[in-house]
Amino acid sequence: MPPEDRDSLIATAHALADAARAATLPHFRDSALSVDSKGQGDFDPVTEADRGAEAAMRAVLAERRPEDGILGEELGQCDGQSGLTWVLDPIDGTRGFLAGTPTWGVLVAVSDANGPVYGIIDQPYIGERFCGGLGEAHLDGPHGRRALRSRAARPLDEAILFTTFPEVGTADEERAFRRLSGKARLTRYGMDCYAYALVALGQVDLVVEAGLHPYDIHAPIAVIEAAGGLVTDWQGRPVHGGGQVIAAANAQVHAAALALLAG
């Protein structure tokens, strides 16, 4: 990729994350925030912060890269002509946002036909931005910049495992997760996209989830792979389309986890 194209993509990704920060932070921990549910049965929350942040990001793209496609959680998909698509989740972890926990995040990725090229996991309240792809793998935060590097291999019984909900997908998927959780040293819940950022940072060995959408996982794929980890489905295949996801710090813990998930 020519340097000017690389620079344009990186600068645009940061402009999108900046726009989403500005749109989300005024609503965080605001008792007056109104909430709707997208689901017919289960509570699937969406707020004016979600919609406003995605609208703000789309306005940036309309100005800077109108030839690219967009896939966003709240406002759908529009095709482009460049072969690149921006995959946006304005607030990944809306439940956490509503609860006031600083573990939600803004997900920004630019992808081609082969998958994510560059991604950002941004936590606006903490001020941490995890970036990966196009030769970058770093965290910018309150303590400055540091390189991202996923954890080296260690036995599964020493591993830290995360998932968002204790109930992972279907009953069969939950049983598979319990087999894996029973072998890990520590299992934690409820971190949304921040758990994937911790894999890239070298704090966490595994994140295992099911029922994800492309906008949930494109940015984590880019960031984790740039940091030396890997992200696949539960059969070890590419997972750009979402579904069952395993994010691993290294190939050894990935293989051990896959064997248990398969039964």
Average pLDDT of the chain to the nearest whole number: 94
Nearest to 202 by CA among 139, 125, 116, 123: 139
The secondary structure of residue 82, as a DSSP letter, is S
Mean pLDDT (whole number) for 44-58: 89
Mean pLDDT (whole number) for 8-14: 97
pLDDT for the residue 167? 85
pLDDT for the residue 112? 96
Residue type, 46: V
Q: Please say if the pLDDT value at position 44 is more than 90.
A: no
Q: Please say if the pLDDT value at position 118 is more than 60.
A: yes
Find the largest Cα–Cα distance for the chain: 50
Q: pLDDT band for 165, please (50, 70, 90 cuts).
A: confident
Instruction: Using alpha carbons only, give the angle 110, 246, 175 rounded to the nearest 5 degrees.
Output: 145
Q: pLDDT band for 33, please (50, 70, 90 cuts).
A: confident
Q: Please say if the pLDDT value at position 248 is more than 90.
A: yes
Q: Please say if the pLDDT value at position 178 is more than 80.
A: yes
pLDDT for the residue 166? 83
pLDDT for the residue 42? 65
Q: By mean pLDDT, which of 43-52, 130-139, 157-166 is the weakest?
A: 43-52
pLDDT for the residue 32? 83
pLDDT > 90 in the chain, percent? 85
Q: Please say if the pLDDT value at position 36 is more than 90.
A: no
Mean pLDDT (whole number) for 224-241: 97
